[in-house]
Amino acid sequence: MSRDLGKKSLQDVLRERRGAKPLVSPVEASQREVARRREAVEAAAATAVERWRDGRSTDGRGKLPVEVYRRVFALNSAAYYASGHWSRRARAQLVLQPVCEVLSCGSATETAAHHLTHAAIGDEQAGRDLITLCEGCHRRARKLGQDLGRVPVREEVVALDPKAPLYDTSSIAALKAKYSR
């Protein structure tokens, strides 16, 4: 049997491949993988928001990865708060602490779970990242955050005075002057 001159042996092909320049460097492969994951998260989050806009559950009553919940929150916070994930987290917080956590309030009506910080979106823990507040104390906590220029910590929120006016008289006078006709 004569050997075909155009064909190479397996050893020759493998030797050439080992000596050839790699198609993709390890760094480039890593960058491509990161980009692929980011695109997958973006696509899943966009799909979840579209489901919510169509009147369906954001997460389809399943569980999405934490990164997807974070991206959904960034795209549309209302879609995140409509998800089954947030419902489970809020329910766990209300079971843990069913009354307003502001010390001098303790109201059991119109309470809801609220984020202390948005850094843990998608991976919130009841009692650590969430706090139970009534509507009045929630408004005061938001106002405190605006006054401080940062998110108030749990100790600052718990120490709020629910009987104090939400705005001081000078702020009210300034608002009246600004918006009066």
Shortest CA distance to 109 belongs to which of 134, 87, 89, 86?
134
- So what's the pLDDT on residue 1? 47
Of 48-57, 83-92, 132-141, 162-171, the poorest mean pLDDT is in 162-171
Residue with tokens 């766990």: 92
Give the model's confidence band at 96: pLDDT under 50 very low, under 70 low, under 90 confident, else very high.
Answer: very high
pLDDT tens-place string over residues 57-92: 888 877 899 999 999 999 999 999 999 999 999 999
175 exposed, middle or buried (CB, 10 Å; 0-12, 13-18, 19+)? Answer: exposed
Distance CA 130, CA 117 (A): 8
120 exposed, middle or buried (CB, 10 Å; 0-12, 13-18, 19+)? Answer: middle
Q: Where are the domains of the chain?
A: 26-82, 89-181
Distance CA 145, CA 62 (A): 34
Shortest CA distance to 114 belongs to which of 84, 90, 147, 80?
90
